[in-house]
Structure 1
Amino acid sequence: MKLLSKLLFVLILAANASARADEIQVAVAANFTAPMQQIAAEFEKDTGHKAVLSFGATGKFYAQITNGAPFEVFLAADDETPAKLEKEYLIAPHTRFTYAIGKLVLWSAKPGVVDDKGEVLKKGDFKHLSLANPKTAPYGAAAIETMKKLGVHDALQAKFVQGENISQAHQFVATGNAELGFVALSQVYKDGKITSGSAWIVPAELYQPIRQDAVVLAKAKNKPAALALAEYLKSAKAKAIIKTYGYEF
């Protein structure tokens, strides 16, 4: 009888935990793929809530959200898009915050292609230069701004290979379809070093700061799991993960 009672108690506990746990739909800027996958796994372990992640370009997510897409939390690659959503009353009040400041890098999958001062851009001795679509991806816009400030934009324009988002821009370089490209530092950096190939971390003064803001969307303003994820992104554990991918705060 005691064993039966104990078993019943365990089952009730499990049922209660299951009832409290929830699932949330999260739109995530493509540059933040690797850190967010890691954070979501820790978030689920620590809270029981499951974050279902979709990755893509910030501009495309904006269009989807304004057209009623079922996202509940949005991690953008800029601060302008979340601010726009706030003005349109599409976010839960007081939930917008900067979760990371991104960095742009010129990267080649091959060692020795990109020098540590980015002089390769002025030499132009390559056929293809990958970047994300500047109309929908903030890292693509930062790449254009960088090239204009360096005075190489017009000379290199014919060599551009545009990815729909920063993941695709990275893929073009990783597969050799472009010899080099502008990508997010987080895609080629881990624990204090570039993970492969050759790279030039673009100086911050060459482009506007990539302040990446997160918001809880209006439809989830009363959803504890969505609010919990927003808070979790501010936690020491999440920040430690974010930092290992080269982001600042």
Structure 2
Amino acid sequence: MTLPSLSLPKHMGRLSGSLLHDAMENGDGFATFECDGEEALLAAAEEYGVVLPHRDADARGITYLRDTPGLGVERGVGFTRETLLPHTDRPAAKQPPRVLLLWCRGTSSEGGEATVLRGADVAARLNEIDPEAFQAFCEDDAAIFRTGDEEMVSPVFRMHDGVVQEVRLRFDPYIYFAPNAARALPALDRAFADTELAFALEPGKGYALRNDLWFHGRRSYSGRREMLRIMVGAKSSAS
């Protein structure tokens, strides 16, 4: 029995480098797609930009996100079945990845929905709920992000003329919030809940997003869910 395809938001169809470029640079920075396999995923990433290395990736730059108990105490939440809170990738880096590609190779038996949140929507809702909380996350020293030898002191929402220019966020033991921002975390959680877009992925489907404009996460799950992730930088900023 063939299951019907899931209806995905902002679906661009079959992934290609040109379609990815249009969605990321001319669209709002989020799209879902279909892809035949990891080589096609990698080819589209390389056509769009520069695949960035990562500690958890293989030599090609692909990270396999699945429940991996054997990693021991160094295992991040992405390698468990737990909820992955809204975040951006590598916020401690001076130049984080511009685009993330996440593609489903194995689905969960229950839960595991992908969650994405447009930074501008979160900022607007937070400002409605609690303007002082919003301002706390816009301060230049709202958070200190640390990973290995990288450190960045930054706002969560970098604004210019009332427009979100960049978002940075992660929740782990190496992140420190300024006192006003720490007190404002419950308001941020409410803004996340009010603006979250959640959708299930079946094998062969995935999503791409601008890492500087969108938060993303995952609901807890059971089963053998496996996502492949590629981090991509703009060609003009390659070093």
Tell me which interval the TM-score lies in, with the shorter structure as reference length.
under 0.3
Look at both structures and tell me which one has the larger radius of gyration over its CA atoms: 1
Between structures 1 and 2, the one with greater helix share: 1
Structure number with greater CO (CA < 8 Å, separation at least 6) is 2
TM-score scaled by structure 2? 0.27
TM-score scaled by structure 1? 0.27
